[in-house]
């Protein structure tokens, strides 16, 4: 693990850089705000590359590494958080090779889910790219031995979260399909814990809970990410001299409707990368 960076070497105004394919990383930002309310933040959404889950591993690794390389040169963050399970499970190692700032990734919360489950059957909802990664296999082998982990790639849920944050109505059938896809798998009727292995999905947890019905608990990795960021920035000074900002890799007509929700997360300005 990376040791905390020497506090005296970090300008107080240096921001935390949170990166995601879209607005999903706002679920991580909420936890980071709670842990470090004084920290300046720049949130970057690669909406021009959305969705990541349908891309190849090579495409994701190249895109994320290139973007974060350019962003760190321009923005000089004190730390980069890849607030995206898909990008982290595929590109985290390559990003760490090219960047000289601390990098915090996002991993599916299989370990805490294994501790939570009473039935021994865990559902995992992620993107198609995330659920097929060997990294997820290794987490299952290490932390969920003796449990049953049922996976489903649910790209519809990414679009649903994006739409919901823009204030659009989402068909409840979207959530029912994701639920049914897990429940129909062998043993799926016993699922009592669901890992939300995409940062978009906590934003629609209420809808997923309604679709699953009572007796199902949800877990994601945002709390652990916030703790890790707080540890790595321990002792550092923070000074917010500019408004916290959301940057997008494509400026189009989907950005303006996000204005109120971005401001509710403390992102008072928005612009293009």
Is residue 81 among the annotated active site residues?
no
Q: Are strands 79-82 and 41-45 parallel, antiparallel or unpaired?
A: unpaired
Query: Which residues 6+ apart lie within 8 Å of 255 measured at CB?
Result: 248, 270
Catalytic residue among 71, 83, 198, 246, which? 198
Catalytic residue among 84, 90, 129, 174, which? 84
CA-based end-to-end distance of the chain: 30
Residue 218 per-residue DSSP state = E
Query: By CB neighbour count within 10 A (0-12 exposed, 13-18 middle, 19+ buried), where does 97 fall?
Result: exposed
Distance, in Å, from the CA atom of 214 to the CA atom of 273, rounded to the nearest integer, reads 43
Q: Which two tokens stand for residue 106?
A: 């996002």
Q: Locate tokens 């891309």: which residue?
A: 55
Distance, in Å, from the CA atom of 124 to the CA atom of 194, rounded to the nearest integer, reads 6
Distance, in Å, from the CA atom of 47 to the CA atom of 44, rounded to the nearest integer, reads 9
Give me the active site residues, please.
84, 198
């Amino acid at each position: 693990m990376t040791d905390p960076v020497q506090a005296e070497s970090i300008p107080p105004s240096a921001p935390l850089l949170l990166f995601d394919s879209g607005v999903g990383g706002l679920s991580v930002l909420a936890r980071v705000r709670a842990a470090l309310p004084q920290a300046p933040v720049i949130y970057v959404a690669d909406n021009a590359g959305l969705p990541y889950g349908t891309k190849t591993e090579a495409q994701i690794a190249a895109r994320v590494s290139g973007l974060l390389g350019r962003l760190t040169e321009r923005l000089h963050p004190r730390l980069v958080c890849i607030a995206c399970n898909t990008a982290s499970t595929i590109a985290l190692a390559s990003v760490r090779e090219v960047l000289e700032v601390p990098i915090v990734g996002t991993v599916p919360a299989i370990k805490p889910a294994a501790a939570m489950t009473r039935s021994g059957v865990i559902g995992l909802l992620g993107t198609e790219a995330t659920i097929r990664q060997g990294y997820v296999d290794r987490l299952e082998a290490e932390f969920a031995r003796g449990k049953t982990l049922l996976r489903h790639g649910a790209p519809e849920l990414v679009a649903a979260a994006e739409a919901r944050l823009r204030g659009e109505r989402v068909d409840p059938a979207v959530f029912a399909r994701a639920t049914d896809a897990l429940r129909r798998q062998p043993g799926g009727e016993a699922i009592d814990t669901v890992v939300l292995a995409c940062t978009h999905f906590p934003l629609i947890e209420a809808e997923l809970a309604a679709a699953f019905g009572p007796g199902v608990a949800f877990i994601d990795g945002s709390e652990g990410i916030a703790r890790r960021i707080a540890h790595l920035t321990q002792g550092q000074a923070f000074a917010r001299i500019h408004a916290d900002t959301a940057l997008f890799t494509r400026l189009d007509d989907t950005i303006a409707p996000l204005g109120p929700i971005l401001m509710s997360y403390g992102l008072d300005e928005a612009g293009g990368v």
